[in-house]
């Protein structure tokens, strides 16, 4: 019984702390991809309206990642994002890689493309019981 009460109190304290942090202006912390995820890319095709960027997401870690999206952005000389495409990559196995293709709108002033991980989740391991 005391364990249940303790657990409920702990959850309430956490929720109240989060509400206070948001109320005083502390916004959410931007998630960053772990060091074991990396992206390579190249510009394949340039058409009148879109540029096709292709590449691979590499997972050098010991755990599969799932629901991976990349962000391919057209940037100007100062690094300002002018246009972007956010394709779904899917899953990337542990110590493996997965290919992707992104379409980015052609915009005046773009001098290059920057590609990175937009979002992902770690896959849950299987739990086996005897």
Model confidence, pTM: 0.70
Tell me the C-alpha to C-alpha distance, in Å, between residue 119 and each of 2, 24, 39, 41. Answer: 39, 27, 13, 17
Q: How many CB atoms lie within 10 A of CB 54?
A: 17
10 or 107, higher pLDDT: 107
Tens digit of each residue's pLDDT (9 = 90 or more) over 48-94: 999 999 999 999 999 999 999 999 999 999 999 999 999 999 999 99
Residue-level pLDDT at 8: 44
Burial class (CB in 10 A: 0-12, 13-18, 19+), 23: exposed
Pairing mode, if any, of strands 81-85 and 88-92?
Answer: unpaired
Average pLDDT for 28-37: 68
CA–CA gap between residue 93 and residue 107 (Å, rounded):
35
The DSSP code for 36 is T
pLDDT band at residue 125 under the 50/70/90 scheme: low
The rounded distance, in Å, linking the Cα atoms of 108 and 32 is 29
What pLDDT is stored for residue 110 in this prediction?
96
């Amino acid at each position: 019984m005391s364990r249940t009460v303790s657990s409920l109190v702990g959850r309430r304290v956490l929720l109240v702390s989060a509400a206070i942090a948001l109320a005083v202006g502390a916004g959410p912390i931007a998630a960053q991809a772990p060091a074991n995820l990396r992206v390579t890319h190249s510009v394949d095709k340039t058409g009148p309206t879109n540029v096709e960027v292709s590449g691979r997401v590499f997972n050098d870690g010991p755990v599969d990642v799932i629901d991976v999206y990349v962000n391919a952005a057209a940037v100007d000389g100062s690094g300002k994002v002018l246009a972007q495409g956010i394709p779904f990559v899917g899953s990337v196995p542990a110590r493996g890689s997965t290919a992707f293709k992104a379409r980015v709108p052609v915009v005046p002033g773009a001098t290059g493309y920057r590609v990175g991980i937009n979002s992902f989740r770690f896959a849950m391991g299987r739990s086996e019981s005897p």
